[in-house]
Structure 1
């Protein structure tokens, strides 16, 4: 009775005391004189719940007082200095008292039940976190006067460090009985784990070893009580924190390596610090790998974080354009000690649909520096899929509408899309080291070779049901606007056609019949093409390559059909028909002038179609018409027309190389011709410049009028440009670092997905000029008036022809078609 009454008196004194020092003195007495004699089964009710809430409030008040008064701290203001130092000393004593409480529980209980010490862990962790936050922010809190209290801050940190170690020993002894449904104990353990997670975020930059030990304890406790806490843990928070710490230590490691490389330092201290940081990276990565393995069913909302982690790490390593500049030896150390843990992580995530969604999201919008790592990740996924069950392969390789706002593209489509975004890496090109095989490393390969080889290897092993999806993606890529992506698709297509008996005969791919079918398909696509276009060029290349892969009987059949077409094509236009076409060209040309071409998109398109036709029949065209054409072209180029018009002009002048121009008209054609080449050679459009250099070189080699060649090279800059082209040397002398920097800048400009640009362009009229080229647009009303006037003139011309000669049989049908279009336009207006 005396014990209880005495303890009650001390409790009352403790609760009503107003002095911080008095609080601590009373608390020390209670712990030293009463705590050892208490029953450990009643500690929570008899002591912790009575004392600790007040202690935590006391500590928070002292933190607030320190922060409030720290601004007045100075060596001259001894009163504030003394006050702050006294508060810090009192805080150290609070930590010592709490350490005593934790030690008492550790020494008296072999197996700790959380319910019996409910208030202790949460109170201690709150105080520890507040201490570390104050120490971390001390430079800003105490500003330039930190040295006046630094000794006590060090003591405070050291005491909190010791208290946490002691608490972790206590928590390690906690026993949660799986057979007993104790939700309070489970919730307490979950709170402890997440409180330690908060502390990790505070101390990550303060003490590496302590930070790592705290993480080690967190992972250990989650696994120890896995069956009980798995449904209550915030797995996303734990994985997110681990990923942040991995990236932080990884970037620190790269900074150290970069500093050593730049200074060419051989300092052992720097190298030891690099190795220590690298070891920390490996620890965090292994912890993540262990955690994801054990809590695999709970990773659905963490997959996007893990996906981004993989990309961010590989974006900082060679051969990425954005990699840190570190030595080859350091690269290998990082790869051996750290990157090896990321490979099994991908294997763990492969079966998860949430990971598929994160990697193959149709709306995935990655910054420039993450596009190349994304391509590498897709190749890694492709390499690992053959070892996965068929349903997992199918999920990865087929498109899926996950929800109303989220769609998942197929792995094949994602690879080609990602490959297309790596323009900088392809143009340098970057090189990837091959995998070591039979004791020696494979030769380094370009990104193009890397993707092509791995894609073809994957095709030899995936399930036959996926070939339909592959066919669709390959055809779309061949018909795409990106040439290098189209060539990759052609290489893969030819691989499929070539690999008959070795790999694919079991699924009817690579057979002679299939190859012949593909040739027929491509030929029909070429035949149905609306006219000369980029897609037609791609299909023609593919047809030529597939032809040589066909079986001899199929080749003979195809050749017979081709020869028949060629023979009929030769007879398609006789001399009279050619003369008629040229006459129509003469008549059309009479309607064209510079003002119309620069102001009306449809006239621009007419000119762009007419010039190649005249160039094709240039040997039969009247020199007077050629004179009119080059004269208009010269005037037009000086007004900077749209890109497609300039290309059409170049197409026509390219055809004049071997044409002999009569003496009587040379003075009208040759000056204009030299002016046209000079203007085109001076153009800043790099694609037009390249085509102009090729055309001018061919013209100079074949022309009968060599005297105009020097006149085309109007300046020293253009002359050097032509000489550089002829010598096939680079235009700019730049080292590797400058080249990488230039490619990065170019990629930053063009990184918007080409498909979006193409889609936007298709929404505009195909007859509209390039928006990038300045043009004097007429008001919209004037454009309507101009178009209507052109239609009226065409009707007047038709009426005049009917009056002169009988109308052909087809004219009435064509006029009815025009009448239907006019009625449709009227309905749209109304």
Structure 2
């Protein structure tokens, strides 16, 4: 047999040497051309005879009752060598033979067929070979060589003959499964698995390409349906082979886990609902998902304890293309669905990993999932739909990606062991305080599920923790997200815990907390108490501000806080469930505030804007209780504000006020006529506003007003503009608004929006970093062990140059003056304890107070 291999290789070498000579044309009749042609045919004939003889030898060996690996070693090795060489020679023949190829094409075709015939009988021989567990090392080595040889054959015939390729891999997978207990410590599985992943990926791409390109053709009856069906079957076969090897050789796969991970992501990115998938018919998409994607979850289940796979899924720095973020999100959800059935050791690796110094940085599956979810902004916004969870007695429905995520996250949270609960709490709190809105909302929903699913004591602990955190955090967007979470958790508390909460955090001592926490979140018997305490705190604050002589911008934040508390206490939902006993002091206060507060400075000063907004909102809640004179006064002042082009927030608050004006009814009088004129003028102005947000809210307010108002005669006066009249009519009838100026709402638009958001966040982080660097680079406080040298005494007057010209004061000058003022105020506080101060003392203090207020206004 070794001699056969030498002669076979010699024939191939001789053919190569003949082909390097001048190749004749097919019609050449020269002596050189004839000699080359005859030489090629002779060598091909020799190879043909070798193939036939080897086939007879293998057939004879098959007839042996109990063939052994060692007995057939030389025959099997030679047959494999000849088959691999023949297939490789035939595969490259079209290029290597060039113009001579038509002269020898029939002979080469005969060679290919005979090699295929030899392979079939060889597979029959190997299939009869037995490899017991006590086999010798030499027998195992021979079988490993056989598997590697058929792997090479499979790589060689890939893209040449699909039937032969499937047959080769089917036999190879069968042998690897049959002898897995003996081979798993000897065969190198990484090259085999990589080849399978490559075949799955290429066939899946080709199948999707056929389905997308020929969708219209197949509907017309002229598409290549057979090619599509055959490609899909081949892809399914390779996927099954891959699943089989991953299952049988789990723990012995070597360095091919990365290829498995990427082929899982690639397959999901090629099929809907992935946005990177080409357009496919629903039938083709469902068929391919049912054929190919169904094997992903079982494959992941066998890889849950693989450290390389865990590292790839939860790596902190994933170098993945953008189209793989959504598939990775689905893979991580699959992992969380499978973890409850795993051992404690496997759960620890995924949820609370121990990272050693030599390991690459990675996160827990929860943290990694939320980081991936941040990159699925487009899929969450469009949204992308996935099959929902099956419920007994109800048909399955498609749900958005957000609902899909929340459902599976809640299921995972419910299955977490107690030792991993701190990981969940830390992750949820970090995302609630994070900058990503979708992650914050998902974390909030999961947190509320935990509060409902857990004990009453757990819910109480979470509420008190968040409340303490709110009292410590500065005002920011995250501040609002915590308030939203808290107002959802409070109704889940037990009644005794709610009572304790109100006692611990009364509205009078924690007004900023009760700005966002509605009384309706508590049990009915506590709502009246909360509202009464809130009004008792806020009303004196407003009255105190009204009594000030020097009202400055610095005094407005306290007034704004009090108005916010009153708005929360008098909101519509509160008044319906727990009406306050008496609103007379509040009504009187609101009436006086309208005499003083002006929105003319709202565009210049943010604090004036927010106070004006809250005053309008509170007035809307109390509109039905105001006397006609105050109603006319409010609407007149609002009409004046609109003439000054106030900020958008003020306009929106006015639309809400008008939406609640539908139930106003005055007896016939000049006041009624004035009221109708003011309402018509206000609606007409806001409905013609150029801002689409204000315009839309004005349409909503007008629709509500038109349904409730007894003054139907003023409705035409509100719609004097024809275009506005048309839009208002369509809005009331429920006709959707359409405009060619609105950009299409598609994946590309959402992706561009995401890039703008990311650029804004990067710029914001860069600004924060630069400010922190400046703070760090500033002169530090001297160590107390080495006292600083005494500073030179400076003149406390205005800084001047030597020639008398004044210069701009520096920060040191401001600090010197303010420090001196603090000392003087401290002395004045000591003087205030005297029983008989001078008569002029109080007047001087008021004068100083007024001057300081003017300084604040000018600044």
TM-score by length of 2: 0.66
In 2 relative to 1, CA 216–88 (structure 1 residues): closer, same or farther, beyond 3 Å?
farther
Q: Does 1:746 align with 2:752?
A: yes
Q: Does 1:321 align with 2:275?
A: yes
Q: What's the counterpart of residue 11 of structure 2? A: 58
In 2 relative to 1, CA 572–705 (structure 1 residues): closer, same or farther, beyond 3 Å?
same
Q: What's the counterpart of residue 582 of structure 1? A: 552
Q: Deviations over 1:496-540 (max 9, x none)?
A: 1112xxxxxxxxxx2222212111111111111122x11101000
Q: What's the counterpart of residue 765 of structure 1? A: 771
Q: CA deviation at 1:760?
A: 5.9
Q: What's the counterpart of residue 280 of structure 1? A: 234
Q: CA deviation at 1:214?
A: 0.2
Decide which of 477, 486, 496 is 1:553's aligned counterpart: 496
CA distance in structure 1 between the partners assigned to 2:548 and 2:47 by the alignment:
104
Q: 3-state DSSP class of the match of 1:297?
A: coil
Q: Does 1:151 align with 2:106?
A: yes
Q: Does 1:201 align with 2:144?
A: no
Q: What's the counterpart of residue 136 of structure 2? A: 181
Q: What's the counterpart of residue 124 of structure 2? A: 169
Q: CA deviation at 1:803?
A: 8.0
CA distance in structure 2 between the partners assigned to 1:453 and 1:370 by the alignment:
22
CA distance in structure 1 between the partners assigned to 2:37 and 2:653 by the alignment:
83
Q: CA deviation at 1:731?
A: 7.3
Decide which of 413, 434, 447 is 1:493's aligned counterpart: 447
CA distance in structure 2 between the partners assigned to 1:735 and 1:146 by the alignment:
62
CA distance in structure 1 between the partners assigned to 2:191 and 2:252 by the alignment:
12
Q: Is the 8 A contact 1:321 1:744 kept in 2?
A: no
Q: What's the counterpart of residue 808 of structure 1? A: 825
Q: What's the counterpart of residue 241 of structure 1? A: 195
CA distance in structure 1 between the partners assigned to 2:39 and 2:609 by the alignment:
87
Q: CA deviation at 1:700?
A: 11
In 2 relative to 1, CA 447–114 (structure 1 residues): closer, same or farther, beyond 3 Å?
same
Q: What's the counterpart of residue 224 of structure 1? A: 178
CA distance in structure 1 between the partners assigned to 2:331 and 2:483 by the alignment:
33
Count of aligned residue pairs for this structure pair: 667
In 2 relative to 1, CA 712–166 (structure 1 residues): closer, same or farther, beyond 3 Å?
same
Q: Does 1:389 align with 2:346?
A: no
Q: Does 1:100 align with 2:53?
A: yes
CA distance in structure 1 between the partners assigned to 2:289 and 2:109 by the alignment:
38
Q: Does 1:160 align with 2:108?
A: no
In 2 relative to 1, CA 525–209 (structure 1 residues): closer, same or farther, beyond 3 Å?
same
Q: CA deviation at 1:467?
A: 1.4
Q: Deviations over 1:255-274 (max 9, x none)?
A: 23223423243649833333
Q: Is the 8 A contact 2:432 2:481 kept in 1?
A: yes
Q: Is the 8 A contact 1:497 1:511 kept in 2?
A: yes
In 2 relative to 1, CA 698–443 (structure 1 residues): closer, same or farther, beyond 3 Å?
same
Q: 3-state DSSP class of the match of 1:808?
A: helix
CA distance in structure 2 between the partners assigned to 1:191 and 1:801 by the alignment:
89
In 2 relative to 1, CA 130–429 (structure 1 residues): closer, same or farther, beyond 3 Å?
same
Decide which of 323, 328, 332 is 1:378's aligned counterpart: 332
CA distance in structure 1 between the partners assigned to 2:827 and 2:253 by the alignment:
70
Q: How do 1:83-122 residues align onto structure 2 when only pairs under 5 Å count?
A: 83=36, 86-87=39-40, 90-108=43-61, 110=64, 111-116=66-71, 118-122=73-77
Q: What's the counterpart of residue 508 of structure 2? A: 564
In 2 relative to 1, CA 767–554 (structure 1 residues): closer, same or farther, beyond 3 Å?
farther
Q: CA deviation at 1:802?
A: 7.6
Q: What's the counterpart of residue 210 of structure 1? A: 164
CA distance in structure 2 between the partners assigned to 1:351 and 1:145 by the alignment:
56
Unmatched runs of 5 consecutive residues or more in structure 2: 512-533, 557-591, 620-632, 660-677, 700-723, 775-805, 829-859
Q: What's the counterpart of residue 403 of structure 2? A: 449
Q: Is the 8 A contact 2:383 2:400 kept in 1?
A: yes
Q: What's the counterpart of residue 529 of structure 1? A: 473
Q: Deviations over 1:197-231 (max 9, x none)?
A: 12212322221111011001111222333333222
Q: Does 1:539 align with 2:482?
A: yes
CA distance in structure 2 between the partners assigned to 1:751 and 1:203 by the alignment:
50
CA distance in structure 2 between the partners assigned to 1:203 and 1:744 by the alignment:
45
Q: Is the 8 A contact 1:52 1:119 kept in 2?
A: no
Q: Is the 8 A contact 1:368 1:751 kept in 2?
A: no
Q: 3-state DSSP class of the match of 1:445?
A: strand
CA distance in structure 1 between the partners assigned to 2:361 and 2:652 by the alignment:
45
Q: 3-state DSSP class of the match of 2:320?
A: coil
Q: 3-state DSSP class of the match of 2:171?
A: helix
Q: 3-state DSSP class of the match of 2:506?
A: helix
Q: 1 or 2, which has the higher helix percentage?
A: 1
Q: Does 1:514 align with 2:451?
A: no
In 2 relative to 1, CA 246–403 (structure 1 residues): closer, same or farther, beyond 3 Å?
farther
In 2 relative to 1, CA 101–520 (structure 1 residues): closer, same or farther, beyond 3 Å?
same
Q: Is the 8 A contact 1:59 1:127 kept in 2?
A: no
CA distance in structure 2 between the partners assigned to 1:426 and 1:433 by the alignment:
15
Q: Is the 8 A contact 1:421 1:753 kept in 2?
A: no
Q: 3-state DSSP class of the match of 1:321?
A: coil
CA distance in structure 2 between the partners assigned to 1:750 and 1:127 by the alignment:
62
Q: 3-state DSSP class of the match of 1:231?
A: coil
CA distance in structure 1 between the partners assigned to 2:349 and 2:335 by the alignment:
12
Q: What's the counterpart of residue 145 of structure 2? A: 191
RMSD after superposition: 4.9
CA distance in structure 2 between the partners assigned to 1:248 and 1:520 by the alignment:
56
In 2 relative to 1, CA 520–118 (structure 1 residues): closer, same or farther, beyond 3 Å?
same
Q: Is the 8 A contact 1:260 1:266 kept in 2?
A: no
Q: 3-state DSSP class of the match of 2:194?
A: helix
Q: Does 1:302 align with 2:256?
A: yes
Q: CA deviation at 1:714?
A: 10
Q: 3-state DSSP class of the match of 1:161?
A: helix
Decide which of 355, 362, 377 is 1:401's aligned counterpart: 355
CA distance in structure 2 between the partners assigned to 1:735 and 1:712 by the alignment:
18
Q: 3-state DSSP class of the match of 1:432?
A: strand
Q: What's the counterpart of residue 664 of structure 2? A: none
Q: Deviations over 1:143-179 (max 9, x none)?
A: 7886565434433332332333233334334444643
TM-score by length of 1: 0.68
Q: Does 1:270 align with 2:224?
A: yes
In 2 relative to 1, CA 713–730 (structure 1 residues): closer, same or farther, beyond 3 Å?
closer
Q: CA deviation at 1:576?
A: 8.5
Q: Does 1:340 align with 2:357?
A: no
CA distance in structure 2 between the partners assigned to 1:196 and 1:266 by the alignment:
42
Q: Is the 8 A contact 2:351 2:364 kept in 1?
A: yes
